[in-house]
Amino acid sequence: MATALVNGRVLGDAGFLEGHAVLVEGGRIATVAAAGDPRVRDADAVDLEGGWLLPGFIDAQVNGGGGVLLNNTPTVEGVRAIARAHRRFGTTGLLPTLISDRVGTMREAIAAVREAIARGVPGVLGIHLEGPYLAPARKGTHDASVFRVPDADEVALATSLGNGVTVLTLAPERVPADTIRDLVARGVIVCAGHTAADYAATRAGLDAGVRGFTHLYNAMTPIAGREPGVVGAALEDQGSWCGIIVDGVHVHPASLRVALAAKPRGKLFLVTDAMPMVGAGSPSFELYGETITAVDGVVRNAAGALAGSALDMATAVRNCVRLLGLPLEEAARMAATYPARFLRIDGERGRIAPGLAADLVLLDAALQVRATWIGGDMERHAA
């Protein structure tokens, strides 16, 4: 029997709809109809209590959550724990992200994500390989001792997931253009990140098929008057996508507003770059044998470099509204619609529209997550 989500403000393509209900059937959105529609009256009703019903958030960069780091626990249960932790914060689809590591760990992580998708672990859409084909000069918290240039065997490994989305972050000046073209031809979404490239090398990467930029402004050459750098190339290019971390720490709000003004609408999307403390009781975790700790919400390694974030997607949405002054509907699209387009899954997710997966999030008046749906399955969350 169909379920009708009633008494909420529903985010449609043209804005929020009042007096409408979302009918869910067979794990998909059957229709968005007026509250008085007979199909709504005949369905099992779920009262949204006047909340904001949004498409479920999609996070393309999630290193960990629930006390688990993918690098340390590259298993199906590790992937499941990460996805479960982030669901509480409105994320109904994510890419578990592997920080630069050795070939064996890469193989284990890809296999774990492949199996998690095959088993139907809720919310797992694919994998993000952040490295290890990066620039030592912009390594951040990554272990430069494992950096390398991918050979044919590693290209085959990086493209071997088979049943989900693969994003690969690399430094375009470190990887031959022909290798980038090969990765793209095999279906990988290639992003530039942790890169010391100049403007020309970045443009060459874009021409070879680089689709986006990983955590814009961070771990890349900045824009300057005589050398636009990676940031300048990213802001100038109209076709590429940029993930941004809106936590008030990684990027100054003014710089984020510059990016919003420079890029076409829809080309900036939210990521968390989350670490294991999200959804966990402990502020610390181990990475490469070193203890990383969040202090006042800022995650740094012993050398003082930012080491991912303690951000969740619901907080990122609130920050877009409160720090950047964006309307909630645009913040929600940056968390759902735009990442779905970036990942090329917008025919399945990212909007509240007939035929799409019933992946949804309900926010209350304070923009706190009150419920989520993945494939129509509802889970309530305490305020």
Residue 87 identity (one-letter amino acid): R
Instruction: List binding-site positions for Zn(2+).
Output: 130, 194, 215
Cα torsion for 190, 193, 196, 202, to the nearest 10°?
40
Dig out the tokens for 252 from the structure: 């100054």
Assigned fold of 3-54+351-380: Urease, subunit C; domain 1 (2.30.40)
* pLDDT per position as a tens digit, 39-81: 999 999 999 999 999 999 999 999 999 999 999 999 999 999 9
Among the listed residues 143, 247, 273, 312, the single catalytic one is: 273
pLDDT at 303: 83
* pLDDT per position as a tens digit, 95-123: 999 999 999 999 999 999 999 999 999 99
Instruction: List binding-site positions.
Output: 130, 141, 194, 215, 218-219, 226, 250, 306-308
Domain residue ranges of the chain, discontinuous segments joined by + = 3-54+351-380, 56-342
Dig out the tokens for 96 from the structure: 């578990």
Q: Provide mean pLDDT across the span 313-339.
A: 98
Residue 292 identity (one-letter amino acid): I
Average pLDDT of the chain to the nearest whole number: 97
The sign of the CA dihedral 192, 196, 202, 205 is negative
Against a cut of 0.95, is the pTM above it?
yes
* pLDDT per position as a tens digit, 227-277: 999 999 999 999 999 999 999 999 999 999 999 999 999 999 999 999 999
- Check if 101 is active-site: no
pLDDT at 383: 74
SS3 323: coil
Indicate the pLDDT class of residue 297, thresholds 50, 70 and 90: confident
Q: Provide mean pLDDT across the span 343-369.
A: 98
Residues above pLDDT 90, as percent of the chain: 96
Question: Does domain 56-342 bear CATH number 3.20.20.140?
Answer: yes
Indicate the pLDDT class of residue 301, thresholds 50, 70 and 90: confident
* Residue 269, strand partner residues: 243
Q: Provide mean pLDDT across the span 146-175.
A: 98
pLDDT at 1: 82
